[in-house]
Amino acid sequence: MKNTCSTGVKMSSGITVLVALVLAFLTPGTGSAQEWRPGTRQMPQMPELSELSGDWLSPRAVWFNGVAAASGVSPEDLRAVGEPRRGTRITQVVRFNSGPVPVVVWQDRNADGVADIIEILRSGGVVFQLIDADYDGQANVLRSYNSSGKLTNETRF
């Protein structure tokens, strides 16, 4: 994984903060909205459809850390809408919406009950995409996109 702050860690904390501030001002388009990372590589269980009308956030709050900065919408303001796999009650897609607009989308493509794509959107456009490409329950890649939909970073795990 790329870590551009590795030299900063060795400096005194005051200088590190100063360097971080200067970098924040000098680097256009890389504010806090671009910094989302999953807290864990272990992809989450899909919620049951019946959970979505209750407190769906608390049991999976770790997956919503940083979502406010990335999306511009606080997780507490989201409404969860689930979509079952055809002919079943197995959750295939959950959209965590602000009004009609999805802010976070979880998908389980292979119906094993574990999310394999997690997307965070800003104003309706995907800004982060976390993918478990081989369906082993571990995230393989995190992609970042800018507001034009252009891929700006790809981190493989």
Q: Is 93 in the site for Ca ion (CB under 5 A)?
A: no
The answer to whether 71 and 64 have CB atoms below 8 angstroms apart is no
Q: Could you tell me the smallest distance in angstroms from the CB atom of residue 42 to Ca ion?
A: 12
| Under rule CB under 5 A, residue 42 binds Ca ion | no
| Spatial distance between the Cα atoms of 87 and 92, rounded to a whole number of angstroms | 11
Q: Which one, 35 or 136, has the nearer CB to Ca ion?
A: 136
Choices 1-9, 29-37, 48-56, 103-111 (CB under 5 A): range interacting with Ca ion: 103-111
Identify the residue among 49, 79, 112, 126 touching Ca ion (CB under 5 A).
112
Contacts made by residues 48-54, CB under 8 angstroms, sequence distance 24+: 48/91, 49/82, 49/84, 49/89, 49/91, 52/80, 52/81, 52/82, 52/94, 53/80
Give bridge partners of residue 125 from the DSSP assignment: 122
Residue 116 interacts with Ca ion (CB under 5 A): yes or no: yes
Q: For residue 51, state whether it binds Ca ion (rule: CB under 5 A).
A: no
Q: Provide the token pair at 125.
A: 């456009």
C-beta of residue 114 within 8 angstroms of C-beta of residue 41: no
| Binding-site size, Ca ion (CB under 5 A) | 5
114 binds Ca ion (CB under 5 A): yes
- The yes or no reply on residue 110 touching Ca ion (CB under 5 A) is yes
Alpha-carbon gap, residue 33 to 66, rounded angstroms:
8
Contact between 119 and Ca ion (CB under 5 A)? no
Under rule CB under 5 A, residue 103 binds Ca ion: no
Q: Applying CB under 5 A, does 91 fall inside the site for Ca ion?
A: no
Which secondary-structure segment (H or E) carries 92? Answer: strand 91-98
Q: Nearest approach, Cβ of 136 to Ca ion (angstroms)?
A: 10
- Which residues contact Ca ion by CB under 5 A? 108, 110, 112, 114, 116
